Amino acid sequence: MTEIIMQAYRVLDEIKIDPIYQSIKKHNRLIIETYSEEIKKFQEAKSKYDQVMIDGGTYHPDFKQIAKEFGKAKSTLYQKPEVLHYFELEQSFQNDLNQFLVKLTESVSDHIKIPNKIGIVSKGGSCHVHE
C-alpha cells in the first residue's frame, strides 16, 4: 500500500507541473493582485447574502437589495477578462482530471460506477477487481 501512496504523490507532482495547472496558478495570483478591491466587494456582498439566506431567505426584508448588490459585485468581478480566462482554464483542467480518473477507474475494473460529465452514474455495477 505504501508504494501505491508514493505513486499517487508522483502523479500529483506531475499534475502540478502541467502547463494548464501552472497557468491557473499564475492567473489566480494576477487576479488577486489586480482586482483586490473587486474581490473584497464580492466577498462582503456574498457574506451579507449568505447571512440573509440564513436569517430568512427570500422572505427577509432586505433580500432583494442584498441579492441585487451581490449580483452586481459578482458580475463586476466575473466579467473581467482574466477571471473569464481563469474559469476557462479551470474547466479545461477539470475535464483533464476527470478523464484521468475515468481511465484510472476503468483500468481497475469495468464494473466500477463512473459518473458522466453531469455527475449521473449511468453504467457499472458492483466492483470486480481484475487480478
Give domain limits for the chain: 2-108
CATH code linked to domain 2-108? 1.20.1500
Q: Report the pLDDT value the prediction gives residue 102, as an integer from 0 to 100.
A: 86
- In terms of average pLDDT, the best of 46-55, 98-107, 118-127 is 46-55
Cα distance from N-terminal residue to C-terminal residue, the chain? 16
The better pLDDT of the pair 76, 124 is held by: 76
Question: Which phi-psi region, left, alpha or beta, contains residue 124 (left: φ > 0; alpha: ψ -120 to 50)?
Answer: left
Q: Report the pLDDT value the prediction gives residue 109, as an integer from 0 to 100.
A: 79
Q: Report the pLDDT value the prediction gives residue 103, as an integer from 0 to 100.
A: 87
Q: Report the pLDDT value the prediction gives residue 31, as an integer from 0 to 100.
A: 97
pLDDT for 97-111, tens place per residue? 988 888 888 888 777
